[in-house]
Amino acid sequence: MDTAAILLLLVAAMAAGWVDAVVGGGGLLQLPALLLAAPHQPIASLLGTNKLSSVFGTTTAAVTYARRTKLDRRVIWPAAGLAVAGSAGGALLAGSLSSGVLKPVILAILVGVALFITFRPSVGLVVLPERDTRPRRLIAVALAGVGIATYDGLIGPGTGTFLIISFATVLGSDFVHASAMAKIVNVGTNLGALAVFVPRGHVLWGLGLGMAACNMVGARLGARTALRRGAGFVRIVLLVVVVALVLKLGYDQLS
């Protein structure tokens, strides 16, 4: 790889870390950049490298959030534990199931999410403690640790966004706390996918670690920005990222 391509990936990794720490969806920037800069590498190696970079960024964001916000341990630890297995299972399925089968479904869900955020402006801006019940916590754990985690191992882009929306709607969390919980679960999904990619040799270690350093810087800045600017700011960025994901998946379908 030439110097320009490496610089492109390092910048993309830092930007992805910032976006991912605020609202998720950093893979929307990082994975396409890898595909553009290293078109001759096997797709599995690019996916594994993307996960290696991402796990450092999500861990950095998770630590930053955990130091400054109160998190519901009854949800995040069971969900994160399940997410390791769920994501690993998704990564194993990735070789036998075409992502083209799922992309139209994901596209439809994202369109629904964009409309939901637009026409329900109070969601994620106001904490709804009456939703924090045991049945809802179990639903949130299953949805995040199994459903969304499996999707992350199988396809990936938008995982953090789906987690934030899930925690905000199911548990009534505001977007800042939902984003904090999403980062911890996202660490589990990244580790689960890496548990499959690393033994199979699908990681470009030198490139991945360089991108990881930049991703960590972006993630730390993003988490601090979200904590400082509050739920209203996160909502705006979330809507922008969801629309970008819709356009990206829509373009992929048309292509």
- List, for residues 102-111, the tens digit of each pLDDT value: 667 667 777 8
| Residues 39-55 pLDDT 10s | 788 877 888 899 999 99
175-197 helix and 159-170 helix, angle to the nearest 10 degrees: 140
Contact 79, 145 (CB under 8 A): yes
Return the pLDDT at 102. 60
Spans in the chain with pLDDT lower than 70: 94-103, 105-106
CA neighbours closer than 13 Å in the CB half-sphere of residue 231: 19
User: What is the number of other CB atoms lying within 10 angstroms of the CB of residue 153?
Assistant: 30
Return the pLDDT at 161. 85
User: What is the number of other CB atoms lying within 10 angstroms of the CB of residue 96?
Assistant: 6
Return the pLDDT at 99. 53
If one counts the domains in the chain, the total is 1
d(CA 114, CA 121): 11
124-144 as b/e, with b when 16 or more CB fall inside 10 Å? bbebeeeebeeebbeebbebb
Range of the domain at 173: 3-254
pTM of the model: 0.84
Cα angle value 171/158/81 (rounded, 5°)? 55
26-44 as b/e, with b when 16 or more CB fall inside 10 Å? bbbbbbebbeebbeebeeb
